[in-house]
A and B are shown apart, each in its own frame.
Chain A
């Protein structure tokens, strides 16, 4: 592995509140908002966490919600 000359870190854009909100909107768009209870709960929790600055735990919940939606939607 070649060593890096001057490692200037690249910003990960998915680690942001904006991305949180985007995921939240994606969830909403499924079934026109008629979501299973568990999914909507995950979404609320996730959005809440993001708003309070806990972006990564929030993201995990939102992603879980999306995955479970994908699984139930053919």
Chain B
């Protein structure tokens, strides 16, 4: 577009008619290209046939003239006359034209009645009409000067060729017309196709701009570039709406979940201020309020932590370490807690398990899982922590690699399928969990940590109880950056 978009509203309208329409320009470019290449191609054909024929005639005349010059230099006018007669007698093609005249322009030999008046220059190609018994034909001729004022005209009747030439030219002209029609038709088709695609994209995006986030690009299923664009756009929309949902849910949850402890603390303080009878009561109320506010702080900290982990910034702190001692440290802590709750704690761990990641964070994740298992189990249950290396798994890139599978199993209250699907949402707590302490951020943190390690978090039923499973790809010895191995003693 040559004009700047100074008249933005006007450009919309003229776009339908003028060159501002991309699809029209596209179609025009297509048509022009098509016609140009066709014209080029047809001219090649023209030169290959008609051009060649003309060239052949000229060549024949030139060759003939050379032979006749030789005869002249040997036998003079008499010799040349004989040869010309001979040629005419044997001219089976019936198209040869000769005329030899003397310096007075008088006929000496040949089959033309007189010297054509229009031929005044020698050594020039002329096309002139000649009269046969019934028809009038075209002839290509050339005049040559000979010594003593003699002049020689050599030519060929080209009417046969003229006919061929007419046929070829007509055919090519018709081909041009057809090509132009095809170009117009093709251009129209291209334009329609293009417009269709653009319109479907802009319709969808417009709907989305107006707030309908549920709209998606139609996918034809033909697996072509357009489908690719549609799929990519749809994926983008999917992700945007997921993120938006996440943000909405989190902000709702924050507003709700932080309000409760803050309101409680406020009520306690107000209550104490109005009704406390002595200093001890006042102190107790303040302590309770501080506890509630601490809770608020820890929720905020947990949220920040999850956000930080999800941003992926912590990945640079990854090192290679043995997972087993790290897990044992966590287990030691929770063995005591499990015992307090009257639970059995079983561990199935290999001797060594080299792992590439963030040690403290991974311990935090396992601790959260164990905490849940203990919290949601009635007494006398068994809690199992097991770590295994699966070696037959396929990576996403198709290569075979090892995976760590770490699972925490309990025999507690378990979860329904619907709750499992939402368990890792921030602040999600199942209905049965309302009476247990917690803020619903534990599994969100686990999920963030597992994702940071390129792994997956899965929940499954244990009838009774719950299985929480973490699967993380283990590093090949070669793929671990050398410096991070060196960093860890």
Query: Which A residues are closer than 8 A to B by beta carbons?
Result: 1-2, 4-16, 19, 23, 26, 55-56, 59-60, 63-64, 66-67, 70
Contacts and interface: CB of A to CB of B under 8 A. Distances in A.
Given A15-B132, A26-B89, A66-B89, A10 B94 contact: no
A9 B129 contact: yes
Interface residues of B, number: 27
A24 to B, nearest CB: 11
Contacts of A67: 90, 92
A18 to B, nearest CB: 11
Interface string B84-116: 000011111010010000000000001111101
A59 to B, nearest CB: 6
B130 interface: yes
B89 A8 contact: no
Leading 9 A-B pairs by shortest Cβ distance: A14-B111, A9-B131, A11-B113, A9-B129, A15-B132, A15-B133, A10-B116, A7-B129, A4-B118
B136 interface: yes
B127 A10 contact: no
B131 A11 contact: yes
A60 B90 contact: no
B124 A2 contact: yes
B118 A60 contact: no
B275 interface: no
Interface of B: 88-92, 94, 97, 110-114, 116-118, 124-133, 136, 157
A1 B90 contact: no
Contacts of B131: 9-12
B133 A55 contact: yes
B108 to A, nearest CB: 13
A1 B92 contact: no
Given A9-B131, A10-B116, A12-B132, A4 B126 contact: yes
A7 B94 CA distance: 22
A5 B112 contact: no
Contacts of A2: 124, 126
Nearest to A61: B92
B90 A16 contact: no
Contact of A14 (B88, B124, B125, B128): B88
Nearest to B89: A66
A6 B124 CA distance: 18
A1 B125 contact: yes
Contact of A5 (B89, B118, B136): B118
A12 B111 contact: yes
Contacts of B112: 10-13
